């Protein structure tokens, strides 16, 4: 009965697979013991043949490096997977039915086996494959990394479920390898929102993409991903932050939104002609050689060393082509995933616009590596205040120095209540706000004398709120 059923099934499958399958499925269910039959009958004879050996508890196959490769494939999980209509041989085309299972085929290691299977996804998932090939993970693999993921590290081909199902956050494949970042994320504002409300809040791939993952600090980082959900973010900051889009360009979002993070200035080597970060060419490393030569004592690059380094880089391309661009960012990957609710975000201008401000105490010079990840060299922090004075370094304008001094002056004026021109707009608004608040307070005070408790209470809540948002 069983065999007949499968046979018929196989025959019909080749004609009008799913329609008839549905019908048969019904028949099978009404006739026979539910589980075993339902499983087998959805698969073709060939698959069942493979599974007759592989759906078993077995000791596994010993590989040349001593690892054990489990050979067990669960029929149940396979039938429930998105690949239930994909034949084993579509992916395992190199299996020779005559000798398979009888003769030992040597395999070096698990990783070697995974690598040998990597092309098997290409034929049916071209789009994902092409995107993946452009990723930092693929670049790492090309460079010999044993830890970076291939398709089958993120998707088990024998059990893969629809990616549309909402799974618990722990099911994200990223968590397996970026464990510390995952732990931080799980407790931050998005992780908690994701646990509470499901897919509206981002998981790793919503900010970094799943296949075309790029180095996180490359270009403008993941800012565009943030803005794709928080569409009004620029406007929401404009209310209190002058030139918000300028700030967004120079500051990575977690710098303000992960309030306990450590921060630093990243001076990026930048191609002023092509308008992008300079990247190290694969195979001809120049950055490390040059920075080491410029900093033989390993104390960090000083003003002069940085200056001559820039000159060297400019010899490659032409005068003024290579410049430095400053960016404020957080120190570690964990820091970047500790975003908290908006009331805790940094809005005190003095955090940055003040002599000796904390974010400017740590400075690094970077070039984008061949895979996009930054290669760094420490820079002495004094450089920020001294280098800018020397106009000789054309195009080198870093955040933190002359500009900051000017801003200090502006801020002092704001604090003294003197309306200054560049940020006058905001100051006026603030002045008006306090006048408005004063008038409102007087009005309410007058009213509460006659009305009693209610409005007084109301007023108090308002007061608290405005105190919070100002601090």
Site for ligand HEC in 249-268 (CB under 6 A): 250-257
Q: Looking at residue 73, what DSSP letter applies?
A: -
Angle at 238 between CA 236 and CA 243, to 5 degrees: 145
| Other beta carbons less than 10 A from residue 74's beta carbon | 15
Rank residues 123 and 445 by Cβ distance to ligand HEC and give the closer one.
Answer: 123
Binding test (CB under 6 A) with ligand HEC, winner from 13, 28, 44, 50: 50
Rank residues 37 and 327 by Cβ distance to ligand HEC and give the closer one.
Answer: 327
Rank residues 2 and 243 by Cβ distance to ligand HEC and give the closer one.
Answer: 243
Is residue 136 part of the contact set for ligand HEC (CB under 6 A)? yes
**Closest approach of Cβ 383 to ligand HEC, in Å?**
15
| Other beta carbons less than 10 A from residue 354's beta carbon | 15
Measured CA to CA, the distance from residue 417 to residue 411 in angstroms comes to 10
Residue 73's alpha-carbon distances to 48, 53, 70, 206, in angstroms, are: 11, 9, 9, 31
User: Which residues ranging from 58 to 87 are in contact with ligand HEC (CB under 6 A)?
Assistant: 61, 69-71, 73, 78, 82-83, 85-86
Question: Which neighbouring-strand residues pair with 263?
Answer: 330
**Which part of the chain contacts ligand HEC (CB under 6 A), choosing from 160-168, 285-293, 298-306, 437-445?**
160-168
Is residue 323 part of the contact set for ligand HEC (CB under 6 A)? no
**Which part of the chain contacts ligand HEC (CB under 6 A), choosing from 7-15, 30-38, 101-109, 388-396?**
101-109
Residue 460's nearest CA partner among 436, 439, 444, 443 is: 444
Binding test (CB under 6 A) with ligand HEC, winner from 44, 279, 399, 427: 399
Residue 440's alpha-carbon distances to 275, 351, 411, 435, in angstroms, are: 51, 32, 27, 9
Q: List the end-to-end C-alpha distance of the chain, in Å, as a whole number.
A: 77
Binding test (CB under 6 A) with ligand HEC, winner from 137, 264, 268, 377: 137
Rank residues 80 and 153 by Cβ distance to ligand HEC and give the closer one.
Answer: 153
Measured CA to CA, the distance from residue 393 to residue 44 in angstroms comes to 71
Is residue 369 part of the contact set for ligand HEC (CB under 6 A)? no
**Closest approach of Cβ 14 to ligand HEC, in Å?**
15
User: Which residues ranging from 406 to 445 are in contact with ligand HEC (CB under 6 A)?
Assistant: 407, 422-423
Binding test (CB under 6 A) with ligand HEC, winner from 25, 240, 424, 455: 240
Binding test (CB under 6 A) with ligand HEC, winner from 38, 67, 173, 308: 173
Is residue 455 part of the contact set for ligand HEC (CB under 6 A)? no
Is residue 315 part of the contact set for ligand HEC (CB under 6 A)? no
Measured CA to CA, the distance from residue 371 to residue 141 in angstroms comes to 10
- Determine how β-strand 363-368 pairs with β-strand 263-271: parallel
Binding test (CB under 6 A) with ligand HEC, winner from 20, 24, 225, 444: 225
Per DSSP, which regions of 247-336 are E strands? 263-271, 276-277, 322-330
| Contact present, 358 and 263 (Cβ < 8 Å) | yes
Binding test (CB under 6 A) with ligand HEC, winner from 67, 80, 153, 271: 153
**Which part of the chain contacts ligand HEC (CB under 6 A), choosing from 23-31, 150-158, 276-284, 385-393?**
150-158
**Closest approach of Cβ 241 to ligand HEC, in Å?**
5
Binding test (CB under 6 A) with ligand HEC, winner from 41, 42, 157, 306: 157
Residue 328's nearest CA partner among 421, 406, 404, 386 is: 404
Query: Residue length, the chain?
Result: 471
What is the total count of residues that contact ligand HEC (CB under 6 A)? Answer: 131
User: Which residues ranging from 326 to 355 are in contact with ligand HEC (CB under 6 A)?
Assistant: 328-329, 333, 336-337, 339, 341-342, 345-347, 349, 351-353
The full DSSP string for 138-167 is: HHHHHTT-SSSPPHHHHS-TTTPPPTTS--
Rank residues 89 and 437 by Cβ distance to ligand HEC and give the closer one.
Answer: 89
Is residue 221 part of the contact set for ligand HEC (CB under 6 A)? yes
- What are the φ/ψ torsions at residue 69 (nearest 5 degrees)? -95, 115
Measured CA to CA, the distance from residue 84 to residue 229 in angstroms comes to 35
**Which part of the chain contacts ligand HEC (CB under 6 A), choosing from 97-105, 302-310, 380-388, 438-446?**
97-105
3-state secondary structure of 253: coil
**Which part of the chain contacts ligand HEC (CB under 6 A), choosing from 221-229, 387-395, 439-447, 450-458?**
221-229
Is residue 51 part of the contact set for ligand HEC (CB under 6 A)? yes
**Closest approach of Cβ 38 to ligand HEC, in Å?**
16
Residues 6+ apart with CB under 8 A from 197: none
| Contact present, 81 and 160 (Cβ < 8 Å) | yes
3-state secondary structure of 337: helix
**Closest approach of Cβ 361 to ligand HEC, in Å?**
13
Cα dihedral sign, 468-193-184-250: negative
Angle at 313 between CA 311 and CA 316, to 5 degrees: 110
Rank residues 24 and 225 by Cβ distance to ligand HEC and give the closer one.
Answer: 225
**Closest approach of Cβ 163 to ligand HEC, in Å?**
4
């Amino acid at each position: 009965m069983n065999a007949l059923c499968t046979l018929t099934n196989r025959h019909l499958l080749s004609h009008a697979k799913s329609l008839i399958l549905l019908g048969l499925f019904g028949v099978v269910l009404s006739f026979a013991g539910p589980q075993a039959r339902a499983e087998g009958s959805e698969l073709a004879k060939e698959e069942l043949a493979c599974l007759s050996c592989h759906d078993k508890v077995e000791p596994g196959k010993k590989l040349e490096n001593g690892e054990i490769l489990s050979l067990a494939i669960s029929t149940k999980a396979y039938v429930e997977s998105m690949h239930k209509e994909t034949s084993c041989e579509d992916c395992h085309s190199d299996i020779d039915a005559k000798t398979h299972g009888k003769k030992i085929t040597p395999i070096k290691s698990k990783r070697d086996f995974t690598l040998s299977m990597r092309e098997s996804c290409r034929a049916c998932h071209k789009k994902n494959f092409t995107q993946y090939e452009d990723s930092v993970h693929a670049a790492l693999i090309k460079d010999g990394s044993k830890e970076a993921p291939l398709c089958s590290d993120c998707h088990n081909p024998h059990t893969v479920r629809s990616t549309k199902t909402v799974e618990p956050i722990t099911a994200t494949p990223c968590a397996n390898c970026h464990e510390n970042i995952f732990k931080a994320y799980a407790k931050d504002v998005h992780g908690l929102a994701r646990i509470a409300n499901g897919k509206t809040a981002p998981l790793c791939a919503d900010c970094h993409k799943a296949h075309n993952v790029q180095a996180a600090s490359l270009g403008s980082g993941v800012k565009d991903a943030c803005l794709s959900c928080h569409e009004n973010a620029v406007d929401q900051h404009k209310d209190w932050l002058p030139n918000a889009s300028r700030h967004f360009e120079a500051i990575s979002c977690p710098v303000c939104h992960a309030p306990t993070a450590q921060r630093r200035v990243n001076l990026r080597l930048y191609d002023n002609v092509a308008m992008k970060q300079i990247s190290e060419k694969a195979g001809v490393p120049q950055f490390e050689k040059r920075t080491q030569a410029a900093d033989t004592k390993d104390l960090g690059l000083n003003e002069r060393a940085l200056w001559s380094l820039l000159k060297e880089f400019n010899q490659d391309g032409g005068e003024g082509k290579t410049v430095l661009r400053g960016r404020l960012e957080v120190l570690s990957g964990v820091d970047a995933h500790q975003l908290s609710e908006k009331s805790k975000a940094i809005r005190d201008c003095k955090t940055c616009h003040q002599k000796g401000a904390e974010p400017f105490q740590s400075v690094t010079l970077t070039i984008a590596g061949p895979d996009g990840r930054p290669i760094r060299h420490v820079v002495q922090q004094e450089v920020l205040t001294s280098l800018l004075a020397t106009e000789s370094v054309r195009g080198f304008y870093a955040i933190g120095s002359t500009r900051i001094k000017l801003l200090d002056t502006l801020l002092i004026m704001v604090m003294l209540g003197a309306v200054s021109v560049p940020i006058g707009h905001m100051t006026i608004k603030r002045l008006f706000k306090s006048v408005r608040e004063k008038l409102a307070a007087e009005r309410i005070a007058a009213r509460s004398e006659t009305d009693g408790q209610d409005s007084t209470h109301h007023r108090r809540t308002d007061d608290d709120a405005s105190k919070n948002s100002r601090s």
